[in-house]
Amino acid sequence: MKAFPDCLPCQVTAALKTLRKATNDETVVSKVMIEVLHILSDYGYGVPPPRVFREIMRRIKAETGNPDPYSRDKEEQNKRALSLYEDLKGKVKGAEDPFHEVLLISSGGNLIDAVIEDRVSGGLGSLGSFLIDDYPDLRKELRRASRLLIVGDNAGEVITDRLMIEEIRQRWEGEIVYAVRGAPTLNDVTLGDIQGLGLEELCSILSTGDDTPGVVLELCSEEFREAFEAADVIIAKGQGNFETLEELKDPRIFFLLWAKCEPIVRYLGLDRSGPVLLRSRP
């Protein structure tokens, strides 16, 4: 999905927020913000927004000397999500269709902060239902698959991905690979961020080898591209992975996300934000 005009205020806002986390030096903040405007106008609408934010993030990290501005946020988000783990696990177990339930919970994984702050009434157990639901397709494809690749997204959310992987493990024998970002970018998880969260015992962990907050295959490592190629089914989590991967029109990919921002809601033909399980189609 190429960038929309609405992406510009959003990216300028995200850049400033990231800069303020990265440094207290307002001279650097001021300088980099002008560079951010240049990056945005140079890229225009030619590429997906996460591809542009990769360059913004790199500039911020280089100019502030802070390699991981969201380090503390990610730690905090994982801690909060872990505190919900048992409760969510119970909700999955008690559901009529636990796999469908855990997909819904995982789609809302990056709402965890809002849940903790009680802005999502009823918590992640009351997320309504998918606005687009290609669950039958996913089940069918998984049944005949032997390799599943899950592309992760944010901190916090990763705990709901663990729940999802646990659920898949119970009913499916194939190989599961969980991919994270190759270097810090926004609050997306990297190899370092998921240590000790219990994912290593459930599946293989792989890095994309790139710090786009999404997946741009040309920028990824050879190793990741091979894993991507070899997968029979791919579950891509969150908006960033959707924005960068939907252009492939690859029917192996199932996008599992909470459609949050107006451009994505509109692009998906929805009339409101909400959970989506969408199979990519040629």
By the rule CB under 8 A, 265 interacts with a copy of itself: no
> Which of positions 18-37 make contact with a copy of itself (CB under 8 A)?
19, 26, 29-30, 33-34, 37
First to last CA, the chain: 14
User: Shortest Cβ distance from residue 5 to a copy of itself (Å)?
Assistant: 4
User: Shortest Cβ distance from residue 4 to a copy of itself (Å)?
Assistant: 8
Q: Closer CB to a copy of itself, residue 4 or residue 172? A: 4
Q: Closer CB to a copy of itself, residue 13 or residue 126? A: 13
| Those residues with Cβ within 8 angstroms of residue 150's Cβ, 6 or more apart along the chain or in another chain | 161, 164, 165, 176, 177, 178, 179, 203, 234, 235, 237
By the rule CB under 8 A, 234 interacts with a copy of itself: no
By the rule CB under 8 A, 105 interacts with a copy of itself: no
User: Shortest Cβ distance from residue 152 to a copy of itself (Å)?
Assistant: 28
User: Shortest Cβ distance from residue 9 to a copy of itself (Å)?
Assistant: 4
Q: Closer CB to a copy of itself, residue 52 or residue 278? A: 52
User: Shortest Cβ distance from residue 212 to a copy of itself (Å)?
Assistant: 21
By the rule CB under 8 A, 200 interacts with a copy of itself: no
By the rule CB under 8 A, 261 interacts with a copy of itself: no
By the rule CB under 8 A, 266 interacts with a copy of itself: no
- Sign of the dihedral through C-alpha 9, 12, 17, 18: positive
Q: Closer CB to a copy of itself, residue 8 or residue 145? A: 8
By the rule CB under 8 A, 6 interacts with a copy of itself: yes
User: Shortest Cβ distance from residue 161 to a copy of itself (Å)?
Assistant: 31
Neighbours of 203 (CB within 10 A): 20
| Stretch touching a copy of itself by CB under 8 A, among 39-47, 68-76, 114-122, 207-215 | 39-47
By the rule CB under 8 A, 8 interacts with a copy of itself: yes
Determine the size of the site formed for a copy of itself (CB under 8 A).
Answer: 20
Give buried/exposed letters for 208-236 (b at 16+ CB in 10 A, else e).
bbbbbbbbbeebbeeebbebbeebebbbb
Q: Closer CB to a copy of itself, residue 32 or residue 235? A: 32
Q: How far is it between the farthest Cα atoms of the chain?
A: 56
User: Shortest Cβ distance from residue 29 to a copy of itself (Å)?
Assistant: 5
Binding residues vs a copy of itself (CB under 8 A) = 4-6, 8-9, 12-13, 16, 19, 26, 29-30, 33-34, 37-38, 40-41, 44-45
